Amino acid sequence: MSTIRPADARPGARRTPRPRRYLVCRPTHFDVRYAINPWMQEAAEVDTALAGRQWAELVRAYREHGHTVEVMEPAPDLPDMVFAANSALVVGGRAFGSLFHAPQRRPESREYEIWFKAAGYDLYRPESPCEGEGDLVPAGGYLLAGTGFRTTREAHAEVQEYFGLPVISLHLTDPYFYHLDTALFVLDDGAPDGGAGTGGGARPADGPRAAALAYYPGAFSPGSREVLRRLFPDAVLATRDDALAFGLNSVSDGRHVFIAPQATGLIDRLTARGYVPVPVDLSEFHKAGGGIKCCTQELRP
Ligand code: ARG
């Protein structure tokens, strides 16, 4: 019999980090050359050298905190390829690939497929637009899935069928928060066994409440807001300012939260809950509508 273990929301709770494996893509060709979200201004000047230093700092921070980082080389003419999160969702060592909404990004899927196959993954290619971890995240044995701007409801059905994990569809309504990972992130996925197995950590029987998360309610439709409120009553709520500062585009190892330093309010609330924020500034990438999480694909064993 399983007992439900709600995520520990107590301020003084001891947060335990779990070592992760991340895939990132070098920002060699990163640029803003088209506009497919409200953050992107075609006239924007990207400081390529600064972007390179900021990205290297993110990789350094992950490694310094005990995480493994796999680095992939980008293809020229794909300026958004640095946003590795969009390439796939990997759970239990199985990879569900991508089909981009924007034609400009479609060729990225093939490039990532080459990496995944060489790394020994059997990558599934979705039939309906799906932008990987940009819109999909495991939480307490469930998959939270965003839709509204990029990933389709049809893809939610495909991903549920592929992993056999129940999908909770969430409707995004604010164009500034066009991907789920700009409005919500998982602080702890409730994995009792270190995330092993296709359950992506906790068993569905443990309930989504085994996971801890942070989100900005205003990014979601009223119904989806209510779903989040019911499933995650102890979630850390972020303000619009935190979200606009890319504070929800964060990566957590269960203790350390790699987060935009501009998200000061959220940093304070996470600290009060016992998490340890690790600020990493990716301001050059914000010009493309991306941040820390967008640059990071988690390879879950
Ligand atoms: N310019 C990219 C796009 O609009 C940014 C992607 C950000 N990635 C993410 N996971 N939110 O598609």
Q: Is residue 10 part of a domain?
A: no
Predicted pLDDT of residue 7:
76
CATH of the domain at 72: 3.75.10.10
Name the pLDDT band for 198 (thresholds 50, 70, 90): very low
Q: Is the pLDDT of residue 58 over 80?
A: yes
Distance 290 CA to ligand 1 centre (A): 5
Is 83 close to ligand 1, i.e. is its CB under 6 Å away? yes
Q: What is the mean pLDDT of the chain?
A: 93
* pTM value surpassing 0.85: yes
Q: Is residue 118 part of a domain?
A: yes
Q: Is residue 74 part of a domain?
A: yes
Q: Is residue 8 part of a domain?
A: no
Predicted pLDDT of residue 68:
98
What range defines the domain where residue 80 resides?
21-298
Count of domains forming the chain: 1
Pocket mutation for ligand 1, best pick of 179, 181, 282 (most atoms within 8 Å of C-beta): 179
Tell me the DSSP string of the chain: ----------TTPPP-----EEEEE--TT----S-SSTT--TTPPP-HHHHHHHHHHHHHHHHHTT-EEEEEPPPTT-TTTT-GGGG-EEETTEEE--B-SSGGGTHHHHHHHHHHHHTT--EE--SS-B-GGGTEEEETTEEEEEESSSS-HHHHHHHHHHH---EEEEEB--GGG-SGGGTEEEEE---TTTT-TTTTSS-GGG-GGGSEEEE-GGGB-HHHHHHHHHH-TTPEE--HHHHHTTTTS-EE-SSEEEE-TT-HHHHHHHHHTT-EEEE---HHHHTTT--TGGG-EEB--
Q: Is residue 275 part of a domain?
A: yes
Q: Give catalytic status of residue 294 as yes or no.
A: yes
Predicted pLDDT of residue 13:
74
Q: Is residue 5 part of a domain?
A: no
* pLDDT tens per residue, range 204-226: 666 787 899 999 999 999 999 99
* pLDDT tens per residue, range 6-44: 677 777 677 999 999 999 999 999 999 999 999 999 888
Name the pLDDT band for 196 (thresholds 50, 70, 90): very low
As a whole number, mean pLDDT of residues 179-204 equals 72
Q: Is the pLDDT of residue 286 over 80?
A: yes
